[in-house]
Copies of this chain bind each other. A is one copy, B any other.
């Protein structure tokens, strides 16, 4: 299995936004940048069978931009509370194994610090190592048998600027 761990793109700042945190949208610039990032992933000729996303608007919008670029159908984009800031990555892994074990190329879209901690856990068995995942950043793991423990290799980790550069 190939797992892409993707942090949501640039959203309106919490201080500027009056509403609930779960409803903070991407900025116009954030959407545009995410389109470039998705194009960059397209240029790298990656495949995607399934996107799992946090229900928070900024993540769901990020997932929408990616899904459109990869021409995924509606049922290939799934929302899960385990990717919300309040979710638990071990339960996310359980959900993937229970429901989506057949998918070979999965992207998960959510929030920090959960995502870099998840990447760290799968690569090292320790959730606390230091991997920098910027907004719109992507890392790719190849995984033998998915579990919440050391089970994968880090193939690459690209910043949003690098992905946008590849899209040019």
* Contact between chains at B123 and A126 (CB < 8 Å): no
Is the C-beta of A130 less than 8 angstroms from some C-beta in chain B? yes
A116-143: CB near B (< 8 Å → 1, else 0) gives 0000100111100111100000010010
CA distance A150 to B126 in the complex (A): 13
| Contact A153-B131, Cβ < 8 Å, known A158-B162, A165-B166, A166-B166 | yes
| Contact A154-B131, Cβ < 8 Å, known A44-B162, A162-B166, A166-B165 | yes
Interface residues in A, total, Cβ within 8 A: 25
Is the C-beta of A155 less than 8 angstroms from some C-beta in chain B? yes
* Contact between chains at A165 and B43 (CB < 8 Å): yes
Contacts of A159 in B (CB 8 A): 155-156
Is the C-beta of A157 less than 8 angstroms from some C-beta in chain B? yes
Nearest B-chain residue to A154, judged by Cβ:
B131
CA distance A132 to B123 in the complex (A): 11
CA distance A158 to B123 in the complex (A): 16
Contacts of A130 in B (CB 8 A): 123, 150, 152-154
**Residue from B120, B125, B155, B157 in contact with A156 in the complex, judged by beta carbons closer than 8 Å:** B157
Contacts of A155 in B (CB 8 A): 132, 157, 159
Contacts of A124 in B (CB 8 A): 120, 124, 126, 129
A96 to chain B, nearest CB (A): 19
Residues of A within 8 A of B (CB): 43-44, 120, 123-126, 129-132, 139, 142, 150, 152-159, 162, 165-166
Question: Which are the 9 A-B pairs with shortest beta-carbon distances?
Answer: A130-B153, A124-B129, A157-B157, A132-B155, A131-B154, A124-B124, A156-B157, A165-B166, A132-B153
